[in-house]
Structure 1
Amino acid sequence: MKKVDVYILSGFLGAGKTTLLQNILTQEHQKNRKIAVIMNELGETSIDSDAVSKDTPLKELLNGCVCCTIQGQLEVQLNQMLHEYELDAIYIETTGVAHPIEVLDACLSPLFAEKLDVKGIITLVDAKRWQDQEKLSIQLRKLLIEQVTHADIVLLNKTDSLSENEKAKLVAEIQGLNPNGKLYMTEHAKIPLSFIQPKQLGEKKHHEQSHVSKNLHLRSYVHTFTNPIDLDQFEKFLREMPDTIYRIKGYITFSHSTESFLFQYSYGMPLYMKEQIKRKQTLVFIGENLDHETLKQQLAAVEIVSN
């Protein structure tokens, strides 16, 4: 089954995310691709929804942020889109105060993780805001840096007012924070679609696709078990896995019980919650430079294979 591409548009307040979204949608429609949009607003009223044409499926998440208070709503909206439309891609425009890892986490519900392919996080940076970040509170400065650090692609926007020396200084600062991401300088958030969709390599050879995917900063891995899991072996795996795995969530069944459990892991803490109904045993991992083959082997080893 063909997966639907997902792109997360991140960036601080006023960086130009909606303008970027408009530029992207224009190019996508020229390619006759079927696109949908999810827009998240902190307030009760949508501000930017008029920027999306009426012929583009749009769902709005209001009065909260997908990275914390309304994660569940994003999962519902994504699921509805998958059932209502045949799509090539979904673009999620986050609020200006959203943390990219938390948004990525919200996109990867184990219920439909095998139907979506999160291609990357695109973070837009207002050049002047970056220069003046000392005027922000410590918490907001940290968020601004986190948005840049965890991006696959950084667009340094509104660079037309900068001198060449100022541009060079900002580029060096951002590349120092995120040496693995790609950085482009833009004006009015204008960027060719091919620059921000580096994984669209369908006509190229498989090994080239693999090479590009390994260069992504944050990645996900979806694993489905066919047998119950040995709890002791699973917890041993958790203790020994690399600290570059930030999140795990999904559904599992243990050999000592017939019940399904919702499993969540973050910041070193595992959490098991009994489910009322039987679920497919699927776990979603989020982390940096995940070794899919190693994870696959390690997780296969915790299964109890019946004779």
Structure 2
Amino acid sequence: MGKKANVIILAGFLGSGKTTLLKQLLAYEKEHNHKTAVLMNEIGKVSIDSDSVPEDVPLKELLNGCICCSLSDQLEKQLWGLCKENELDTLIIEATGVAHPIDVLDACLSPYLIDDLQISGIISIMDAPRWLNRESMNVQARMLMLEQVKHADYIVWNKTSGLTEKEKQLLMNDSTRLNEGIPSVLTDFSKVEISQLFSLTVKKRSEHQSVSADKLKVKTFVYSFKGPVNKELFENWLRHVPSSIYRIKGYIQFKNQIHLFQYSYGLPTYEKELMKMPLRLVFIGEDLNPDQLTRGLNEVESESN
């Protein structure tokens, strides 16, 4: 198995400064002789920011849609292509400003990519004046900005030079209130200590262990099956999984048929898979208990045989 590429997800509302931070990340990577690739997502049909990526940096673009909804399948294919075509140290995803960070993370954790990628963290770049005046925005926009703060592993409060000390304190209070323990910084032009962003790197994954470091707000966990299981026993176990699990995806075998399994907001779906795929599930959520999940699925396996 080759080395894994660290994935950094740049989240943040439209115009918050994601591309400005991307340029700094790429300069840092070049200075350290790291092989880096970029995946950029634009809602429109034409890419606006791709010119900011140097020609020697592998780049793929997803246009005319959002990678967390209509383009999620294409994202997996593009990530797979970047991994197979390049031996990467780092892969940076600049999501569209209307993307939910958890959905972007979910799309990155494809069963095809478990052996190629490890999630370093979600960096949310927030337009500070817009955040302070968010009550003037529509409900959907306010909720999205809230989620971008809540699920970040590092918060960049950008465009703060014109703010009062009281307003700056409000930003830091919001960081603590919504996402306690996560580092945040007040800045302009998205200037941050870049090395801090790379300190979020996850621990090396081993079988039946969590793949996230303690610093990550959202945890991931991988479980590998030894063989087929009984569908009724599995679904009975599934009914009791904690609500803190946002997503489950991967491949599971019932009798002689392998299925692509996906679980979101309490609803499971199964799709027959014609190819022989590794039998493993990826879990995404908060406060995951790997030991408890492992015990439960071990019981499903043992009782199936």
Q: Into which bin does the TM-score normalised by the smaller protein fall?
A: over 0.9
Q: Which residue of 1 aligns with 2:103?
A: 102
For residues 302 and 227 of structure 2, what CA distance do their matches in structure 1 show? 6
> How many matched pairs?
299
1:111 maps to 2:112: yes
Matching of residues 222-301 of structure 1 within 5 Å: 222-254=222-254, 257-301=255-299
Residues 20 and 251 of structure 1, relative CA distance in 2, 3 Å threshold: same
Residues 50 and 243 of structure 1, relative CA distance in 2, 3 Å threshold: same
Q: Which residue of 1 aligns with 2:207?
A: none
For residues 245 and 287 of structure 2, what CA distance do their matches in structure 1 show? 9
Are the aligned partners of 1:152 and 1:180 in contact in 2 as well (CA < 8 Å)? no
Q: Deviations over 1:29-88 (max 9, x none)?
A: 111111100000000000000001111111000000001000011100010011100000
In the alignment, structure 1 segments of 5+ residues that lack a partner are 203-209
For residues 143 and 296 of structure 1, what CA distance do their matches in structure 2 show? 33
Q: Deviations over 1:118-172 (max 9, x none)?
A: 1111100011111111111011111110111111111111111112111001211
Are the aligned partners of 1:180 and 1:217 in contact in 2 as well (CA < 8 Å)? no
Cα deviation, residue 228, structure 1: 1.1
TM-score of the superposed pair, with normalisation by structure 2: 0.93
For residues 201 and 295 of structure 1, what CA distance do their matches in structure 2 show? 20
Q: Which amino acid aligns with 1:49?
A: S
Matching of residues 87-166 of structure 1 within 5 Å: 87-166=88-167
In the alignment, structure 2 segments of 5+ residues that lack a partner are 204-209
Are the aligned partners of 1:180 and 1:216 in contact in 2 as well (CA < 8 Å)? no
Cα deviation, residue 283, structure 1: 0.9
Question: 1:98 aligns to what SS in structure 2?
Answer: coil
For residues 195 and 202 of structure 2, what CA distance do their matches in structure 1 show? 10
> RMSD of the alignment, in Å?
2.0
Q: Which amino acid aligns with 1:246?
A: Y
For residues 92 and 201 of structure 1, what CA distance do their matches in structure 2 show? 17
Question: 1:161 aligns to what SS in structure 2?
Answer: coil
Q: Which residue of 2 aligns with 1:188?
A: 189
Q: Which residue of 1 aligns with 2:45?
A: 44
Q: Which residue of 1 aligns with 2:300?
A: 302
Residues 167 and 306 of structure 1, relative CA distance in 2, 3 Å threshold: closer
Cα deviation, residue 212, structure 1: 8.1
Q: Deviations over 1:158-207 (max 9, x none)?
A: 111112111001211232111142211121101122211223488xxxxx
Q: Which residue of 2 aligns with 1:207?
A: none
Identity %: 49
For residues 105 and 13 of structure 1, what CA distance do their matches in structure 2 show? 21
Residues 134 and 25 of structure 1, relative CA distance in 2, 3 Å threshold: same
Q: Which amino acid aligns with 1:244?
A: S
Cα deviation, residue 293, structure 1: 3.0
Greater mean deviation of Cα atoms: 289-298 or 36-45: 289-298
Q: Which residue of 1 aligns with 2:67?
A: 66
